[in-house]
Amino acid sequence: MKALLLSLSLTCCAVDGASAQTATTPVTPITAPAPDYSNYSLMLVSPVLNGGAVVLMHNPVGGKIEYVAVNSTKDAMAAGYVPVRAQELGDLIGSLKAENDRLTAENDTLKKQATAAPQPAAELPTAAETLTRIRAQQAAEHAAEKQERRQQMAQAWLMLQAAHPYQPPQLPDPNAGRLKTNCTSTQTGNTVNTNCN
């Protein structure tokens, strides 16, 4: 950064010196169009002598911005890295400035609203009112929990009934295990007579 400022100040001094000389001799102005720097990449040079330089580049994996050494930019570009353009940084700075302006205006509006009309202090409830409100809320919560448990139990019972419907018990057949014969019994006093055909 210091090197950049130094080179900028030297350039300005050279321009001032050149303008002093041109004041005496007329020079025809050059009408070349100003270069468009929007597609240029930025290189950050270390202020330390032989400290190196880096280029800001988009990493294709993860989309993060990384510093890539200048001597490695060719390999990085072959790997899919893309240099950050001056236009991108200009757009980012512009959007940050616009956001800062918007927040400053919003902050000023809120300050004006706060100082314009002081809000009346709300009356605080008494301890008895607070205690009554808390107890009522706890009672309502307890009743709601109790009702929810009842509904869950009824739902579980209905699900069990649907899964296992009621089947009446089957009575054993009284003739099971007997021979199928046509027998009749008659009783005369204490005597029983059985007649089987």
Q: Are 142 and 95 part of one and the same domain?
A: no
User: Range of 133's domain?
Assistant: 128-162
Radius of gyration for the alpha carbons in the chain, expressed in angstroms and rounded: 49
Quick: pLDDT tens for 139-159: 999 999 999 999 999 888 888
Measuring CA to CA, which residue among 49, 38, 51, 77 is closest to residue 68?
Answer: 77
Q: Is the pLDDT of residue 197 over 70?
A: no
Q: Is the dihedral of CA 124, 125, 131, 132 positive or negative?
A: negative
* Six-digit token string for 194: 């059985």
Q: Are 10 and 100 part of one and the same domain?
A: yes
Q: What are phi and psi of 186, to 5 degrees?
A: -130, 145
Which one is predicted more confidently, 170 or 126? 126
* Helix, strand, coil share (%) of the chain residues, nearest 5: 50, 15, 35
4 pLDDT tier (thresholds 50, 70, 90): very low
- Counted domains in the chain: 2
Residue 142 lies in a domain: yes
Residue 167 lies in a domain: no
Residue 52 lies in a domain: yes
Residue 11 lies in a domain: yes
Measuring CA to CA, which residue among 80, 85, 36, 94 is closest to residue 56?
Answer: 85
Q: Are 8 and 98 part of one and the same domain?
A: yes
Residue 96 lies in a domain: yes
Q: Is the pLDDT of residue 7 over 60?
A: no
| Residue type for position 101 | D
Quick: pLDDT tens for 42-73: 888 888 888 889 998 988 888 888 899 999 99
CB 58 within 8 A of CB 82: yes
Residue 132 lies in a domain: yes
Which one is predicted more confidently, 196 or 83? 83
pTM of the model: 0.38
